A = this chain, B = another copy of it.
Amino acid sequence: MGSRSHGQRTPLPQTRVPGVQQLRAAPKGAKSTGQTDLLKAGGVERRYRQGDQLFAQGEECTGLYFIESGTVAVQIRTTRGSDVLIRLAEAGEVVGSRALIEGHESAHLKTAVALNDVRATFVSKASALDVLEIRPGVILSLLRRIAREASEAEVMRAVSMDLSARARLARMLISLRNHHGWVNEDGDLMIKLPVSRKDLASAIGTRPETISRLIETFEADNIAYFTGREVRVPDLDDLLDEIEVL
């Protein structure tokens, strides 16, 4: 458990988080890159209610989804029926890029479900490829996005593996802060969990019981207080101390 700076409090916006987190710093949420607008111009808006699926494992890949608002969970179903949460895709991210990978019909390996009301721009594979053929700039921008996500996932995998469950939960909370965090009237950081504890557990590779017990220890250590799906973090630096920085 490495000790960190522990200096001044850092209330809301973009705190320096070392390591992997750097990758997330740049144009993630915010508005689209401009370049990809061209791509989205050939798409249609789709809306989903909480629990709706954008696509399901085994279905044919038909196109890309640009998430405009809301949160999408990307899961994989194991042969034994349990769902593993692969990632949470937030506004500004792209889901379904596998559509572009394979030349011909290929099946989705994952399932994407809306965790709340979601607005997304769907761009069919054909339409996407058309644009990409004639507009190099667009695809370069898309490449950057996907390369970023690739790099992130690679590092995350390695880093996650030799971190304690406690540290992984801390990491999860911090990464949720970007899209699901705010500051309440007392100046405390608040985070609204977009998923159930079961999904939270599967996202960090542990079990719901363990999540419960970790919550217990977090509260005992005055690091984070959980009530339902709301989390209150009295001092962000204390939470940052937990992530055992890369």
Contact = CB atoms under 8 A, between A and B. Distances in A.
Interface of A: 2, 22-23, 26, 74, 76, 78-80, 84-87, 97-98, 100-102, 109-110, 129, 132-137, 139-140, 142-144, 146-151, 153-162, 204-206, 245-246
A44 to B, nearest CB: 22
A117 to B, nearest CB: 25
Given A87-B154, A150-B150, A136 B144 contact: no
Contacts of A159: 76, 84
A147 B76 contact: no
Main secondary structure on A side of the interface with B: helix
Stoichiometry, copies per complex: 2
Contact of A151 (B109, B129, B143, B206): B109
A170 to B, nearest CB: 16
A4 to B, nearest CB: 10
A133 B129 CA distance: 16
Contact of A205 (B97, B143, B162): B162
A150 B158 contact: no
Nearest to A143: B143
Given A133-B140, A161-B204, 10 more contacts: A76-B155, A78-B246, A97-B147, A97-B150, A101-B147, A129-B140, A146-B146, A147-B150, A150-B150, A161-B205
B101 A246 contact: no
A155 B97 CA distance: 14
B144 A101 contact: yes
Contacts of A133: 136-137, 140
Contact of A86 (B26, B110, B154, B206): B154
A243 to B, nearest CB: 12
A14 B97 CA distance: 26
A23 B107 CA distance: 12
Contacts of A129: 140
A2 B78 CA distance: 12
A170 B129 CA distance: 38
Contacts of A246: 76, 78-79
A149 B98 CA distance: 11
A124 to B, nearest CB: 16
B158 A161 contact: no
A17 to B, nearest CB: 13
Contacts of A22: 109
